[in-house]
Amino acid sequence: MTMNLEQLQGFLAVAETGHFTRAAAELHLAQPTLSRQISTLEIELGSELFNRARGNITLTAAGETLLPVASRMLADAEHIRFQMHEMAGLRRGRVRLGAPPSMCVSVVAEVVGPYHADYPGVDLHLHESGSHNLLNELVGGSLDLALIVASDHDPSSAESLAHTPLLVEELMVISGHPAHFAEHGGQLTLRQLAALPQIVFSESYDLRAATMQAYRQQDLVPNVVLEGAEMDAVLRFVERGLGVAVVPATVLLDRPGLESRRLIEPSLTRTISLAHRKDVSLSRAAAAMQRMILTTTEALASQSPAIHSLTTEKHLEG
């Protein structure tokens, strides 16, 4: 059995609210993520925990049995966590994390909530920028850690930095309008993509540079209907059917309202790494953030065949 505390926390939230959507909101999770957690827990326990009548979620007999046990386990875990934080000196601190916009809506969004819950006394400072700027800011000492698109930047260009590979992910085509993919199967060639109405990111995005380079290499000109948008705006425009866009696979997790297709001829990928200065030891707060990012990216990779984890235990520091 691989029952974990996150599953138990989700179970208690649903039991207390009697509603999956409200429980997900309290936990700062997407509702499909919470539903998967509960379903996995039920499979592992071999029993249904909730009677799922429309508009009326109640505990089954198995759920009633689990309720006090789950409450006690979570209380014990919180007590142990508090003691460990006291020992580790993590009741205070600061972490300055940099990330590209596409990582902010995926990896960082998954990390910040749990990190703040575990270390409420640590101040988090997030700086959103392109990888080139983030590398410069790391070298200059204004960041402790930075998620970067390593495949677009030579790690040797900043010899004072240590790079921990996290994942390789495919660039996917997304759409919010059924007609965009109506004539295509489960994959799109770059030539097919070029003919579709496309929303293009701002020039500061590594994503735009990678996509446009691929077009140039095949002597293709994309059908751009809007350019210069930021990540959140692109996702909203796509959801409203304005056009398609090319985004990393991690951005698609927990976005069931978007259709996606894998790119072929060529397949476009990018490598994400976590960087920090070699000559400065990570603080305990920063080292804890590093560990959480590594475990989070590994978990994200398990959710999609278009994401491949590169993390190993040897990368963990502190």
Burial grade of 268 (CB within 10 A; 0-12, 13-18, 19 or more):
buried
Indicate the residue type of 197.
Answer: P
Taking the CA atoms of residue 109, residue 110, residue 112 and residue 117 in that order, the dihedral angle to the nearest 10 degrees is: 140
Provide the pLDDT confidence category of residue 98 given band limits of 50, 70 and 90: very high
Q: Identify the pLDDT of residue 222.
A: 94
**Domains of the chain and CATH, by start:** 5-87 (1.10.10.10), 91-165+271-315 (3.40.190.10), 169-269 (3.40.190.290)
The arithmetic mean of pLDDT across residues 295-306, rounded, is: 90
Q: pLDDT tens digit string along 152-208?
A: 666 555 678 999 999 999 999 999 887 888 887 788 999 999 999 999 998 888 888
**0.75 exceeded by pTM:** no
Q: Are 131 and 206 in contact (CB under 8 A)?
A: yes
C-beta of residue 245 within 8 angstroms of C-beta of residue 198: yes
Residue-level pLDDT at 317: 43
Instruction: Name the average pLDDT for the chain.
Output: 87
Report pLDDT digits (tens) over 258-274. 888 999 889 999 999 99
Closest CA to 196 of 172, 180, 211: 180
CB within 8 Å of 141: residues ≥ 6 apart = 277, 280
Question: According to the model, what pLDDT value does residue 313 have?
Answer: 42
Confidence class of residue 59 from pLDDT cuts 50, 70 and 90? very high
123-139 per-position pLDDT tens digit: 899 999 888 889 988 88
pLDDT at 318: 40
Query: Could you give the count of Cα atoms lying within 13 Å of 263 in the half-sphere of its Cβ?
Result: 25
